[in-house]
Amino acid sequence: MDRMLVVVFDNETKAYEGERALLQLDAEGSVGVYAHAVLVKHADGSATIKQEDDYGPLGTLSGTALGFLIGLLGGPVGAAIGAGAGVIGGGFFDLNNARIGEDFIDDVTKVLLPNRVAVLAEIEEDWTTPVDTRMEAIGGTVFRRALSEVKHTIHEENVAAMKADQAQMKAEHAKAHADRKAKLQEKINKLDTKIQAQLQKAKDERAAAEKQAQAKVQVLKKKAAAAKAEAAKAHAV
């Protein structure tokens, strides 16, 4: 099952130990880590990405579910995620893109207080004991949430509502006097622009979801190839 994982620690030393433990579990096959990052929450409430993975297709966090999660945790209105480490602040990321519930964000932010550090990861995990055991031993507080499927219901509902309004306006336009027709036509045109924007947003989200799915496959293939090469090397010795 694909999940979002957040483990909160009291300091950077423990967080990096937690990161190493997570990657060790990945190497052992207990979990699959698609992408991860270490986030430091500063005293003023801002946050910094101290470290992120370099797994290839998901190595850049921008546009990934993990990137959106970092945006939500990095400040009151979200974050601007760069390809490398940097200070988080500004921008807007919604929960649909992060593919997790608002209650999950609330639970994490109650613990991810100023001067604390979190290891965040998008993972594949069949059972929770390996991660929980290792992280709790280091002093980490573990949060996880299954990633929801990308939904387009909101866009569809918005488009349907706007089309209903547009249809009514067109009916009024057909019966209106000349002076009123111009004002109605302006409203009809504005609604049409909004409808097209909603349709494009839904299309973009579907494309992004497909791209992320393909990237995850490439991450797994890369890991499998590396493991095979390492096994061949060991056998040769």
Digit-coded pLDDT (tens) for 103-140: 788 889 899 999 999 999 988 888 889 999 999 999 99
CB 6 within 8 A of CB 120: yes
Question: Which of 25-34, 93-102, 129-138, 212-221 holds the top average pLDDT?
Answer: 129-138
Given a cut of 70, whether residue 181 has pLDDT beyond it is yes
Q: What is the pLDDT of the chain when averaged over all its residues? A: 77
What are the backbone angles phi and psi of residue 108, rounded to the nearest 5°? Answer: -70, -45
pLDDT > 60? residue 77: no
pLDDT in tens, 183-210: 888 888 988 888 888 788 777 777 766 7
Single-letter amino acid, residue 86: G
The residue that leads in pLDDT, 25 or 93, is 25
DSSP H stretches of helix in 74-152: 95-98, 102-111, 129-138
Q: How far does the chain reach from its first CA to its final CA, in angstroms? A: 37
Token pair 């994982």 in the structure block, residue: 5
Between 6-15, 18-27, 71-80, 95-104, the lowest mean confidence (pLDDT) is in: 71-80
Give the span between the Cα atoms of 237 and 225, in whole angstroms. 19
Q: Report how far residue 9's alpha carbon sits from residue 185's, in angstroms, rounded to the nearest whole number.
A: 58
* Three-state DSSP class for residue 4: strand
Distance CA 117, CA 85 (A): 15
For 12-38, write each residue's pLDDT tens digit: 999 999 999 999 999 888 998 888 889
pLDDT of residue 117: 95
- Alpha-carbon distance of 212 to 175, in angstroms, equals 50
Structural domain boundaries in the chain:
2-146, 153-236
Q: 0.75 exceeded by the pTM?
A: no
Rounded CA-CA distance 134/23 in Å is 11
